[in-house]
Each structure stands twice: as C-alpha cells, then as structure tokens.
Amino acid sequence: MTNPHPNILNLVSIKNYLILTFKEEIDEAQKMYSQLYFDYNATTPCLKEVVDSMLPYFNQDFGNPSSSHHPYGWLAKSAVEDATLAIAQNLGVSPSNLVFTSGATESINMVLKGVARKMQSKGNHIITTKAEHKAVLDTCAFLEENGFEVTYLDVDSKGLISVEMLSEMLRPETILVSILYANNETGTIQPLDEISRLTHKNGSLLFSDTTQALGKVDLSKVFQLVDFACFSAHKVYGPKGIGLVFIKDNEDGNGLPSLIQGGGQQKNQRGGTLNTPLIVGFSKAIALANDNLKVEIERLETLRNKLEKGLLKIELAISNSTTPQRLPNTVHISFPYVDGANLLMALSRQIAVSNGSACNSASVEPSHVLTAMGVERSLAYASLRLSIGRYTTATDIEKAIEIITNEVAKQRESNILWERRAL
C-alpha cells in the first residue's frame, strides 16, 4: 500500500485539529444552519419526487441516448424524448423549440453569441438594460470586445425600462433586444408586450431571460412575445446543471448556431452527451410547478405581502420592489444606518438571506441593479433580498420579521450616525 503524501496527512491533521478545537462552534452552527431559508431566488431544494424520477437513469437505465444499437440507448433516448415532450406541453410550446443546456448562464451565452454570429451581416447593434443579470452584462461586454455595439438602457426607480427610450434606441442595424423578464433581485416584471411590439416592428429579435419567472408566474403568453427565452432547473425545485433555451423558429434546427460543437446532438445545436437523469428531473420539476401554479402564486403573494409589511415597520426602512407587476415571492428592502455586510453576517446564524444575486456575491460593489435604479450607494449596501418558496410558512415569516427587526436595531445601536440622525 502506498503511503499517503505528507501534505495530505498535514491537511487531515489540520482538519481534525479544527474540528476538535471548534467543536462547540461547529455544533452550534449546524443547529442554526438553514433554520430559516429565505433565498429561493438563489436556488431551491430538489424535490423528492424529482430525485426519485432521476434515480433509475443513474444506475439502471444508464445508457447513452445517442447509442442507437442496443436497448440501453433506446431506453435513455425514449426517456429524453418523453421528458422533452412533457416540458413542451407544460410550457405550451413545441419540442422543436427546446434545446437543453447546462443552465441559464450557458443559455444566455448561446443566445447572445449565437444571434451575434447569425445576424452579423444585418447589423452589429444590441440593446439591453443596466439591470440585467450579470451573465447578460458580461456576455455583452465580450461581444463589445469583438466588434459589436451595445446600448444599455436606464431603468427607473421601480426597475422598469422606458419603452419610449427603447423606441428611440432601436436602429436598422439592431439585431437583438435582450430584456430580463423578471428581475432576480427586486422581482420587477418588465412590460414585455410593448417591448415585443417595438422590437419586432423594427425587424429585430427579442430575447428574455425568464429564469426567475418559471414556476412563479404564468408564462404561456411570453412564448408568443419573444424569439428566445431561457430557464434553469434549480430555480424551480429541480437539479442543478440543467437548463433550457427556447427558440421560436427552430423547426429545422437552424434557429441558432451551436455554441458547443461535437457529436451533433440536438440537431447540431448543442454538442455533448445528453444528461438523461437531469433532463428527466427538469421535466418532473416543471410538471410539479404547473400542477398548482395559480394557488401557489396566491399563497406566495399573501406571505410576501405579510413579510414586506412587517419589515417596513422598521424605522426608515425602504422597499426597493414597489411596482405592482413583480414576482409573488420577492422582497427587497434597504435599512438606512446599517452596514449590510455586518447585517448579513449576523443574520446568517438564524436566517438565509442575501443582498442580491448569488452569481455576483463575490463583488464588494453595491448591487448594480439598485445602482441602476438610482438607489444611493449607502442604501444599496444596506439592503436585503428575501425570496420565499414552496416550504415557507406564515410562522417562518413571523420569525424572520422578528429576527431582522431585532438585528437591525442592534446594528444601529453601534452606529453613531444613527444617534445623530435627528440633529
């Protein structure tokens, strides 16, 4: 038997030392971990029914769906086809409209870069907003470095674009308009009807990141308005690592050029072995989300309103989600005279919340969404996003209000500016 590398032994020793030294702290942290979960916009737990639906395709029906010469491949292919059809039926689209990806980020890259490649003979101008998800903004920055021009629309204090400004910015050479349907931080829903009318009147294509909206609002009308949309399973109680692109005109598989080459899967639009278990799980998750969508929306709205009302009772608290057209599960509030980083740290022992997108959590800058909305930097830093979901109860809401109210008060006690606010 080969002796372990000394560095490995050192790491093991260090780990054991830390466990023994901080045992009480670790035990306490484990007791508190995920006691209250208010970060459903970051990710959701994978439902047991979803996990159960996937399990056979890991170790029983494990074949490659592209293996056409034996039953293992046939069974896997059949499972993918059935899952795709079920997703299409639940979304009210055709199976030919759907291309599987690894998630929303890849889907966004596929659409933006794909349209840029396909339409570059028509023009090089793209329109988006300053409040988009970072995956859109970073991809647009990449396209700018490669000869494309991007116009970034302002949003108002509610996070809404001006359709008049969109109309003014559209040009003959505008090939794509990319507008986030439901904002992942504030929940603001954009007026897609008018955006679609203006975009298509100009002869341009429309892409909407609908990742946060799936399972929270009725999307049936959206597919009539856009040319492209994207989704991610882990936002709707499905597995991580699987997403979708909706492509309206894709009967022949020529709706978008492939971002990933190799193997010719999915009509040559996305190379690579199809992930049968995750596709099956995604299908199950969407079906479960659709089962009681209307009832769940009403339940979430009731809980959201209760949460928001309770938190706004905190002195000087300001809501950053004020438009009536918004997600039913999202609350975003700023607390003046509070250090947001310290508040998050203090709350983390009792409640899981965030101050913005999980995909941008490493940034020390305030939320670009709030900045785009004109929120002062000090208030942007002092903000919390709370997003509720399937397992949130009225009792959870009451506890969260109490915990946050008490912690904000504690934070302000040590802030000399709070004492001097009335002077």
Residues assigned a catalytic role: 359
Identify any residues that bridge with 380 across adjacent strands, giving them in sequence order: none
DSSP notation for 158-186: TSPBPHHHHHHH--TTEEEEE--SB-TTT
- Residue 253 three-state SS: coil
- Contact between 366 and 373 under an 8 Å Cβ cutoff? The reply is no
Tokens of 299: 């339940």
Buried-exposed string 16-50: b where 16+ CB fall within 10 A, e elsewhere: eeeeeeeeeeeeeeeeeeeebbbbbbbebebbeeb
DSSP notation for 187-229: -BB--HHHHHHHHHHTT-EEEEE-TTTTTTS--TTHHHH-SEE
For residue 175, which phi and psi values (nearest 5 degrees)? Answer: -95, -25
- Tell me the residue type at 309: K
Q: What is the largest CA-CA distance in the chain?
A: 81
Nearest Cα neighbor of 42 from 415, 413, 386, 393 is 386
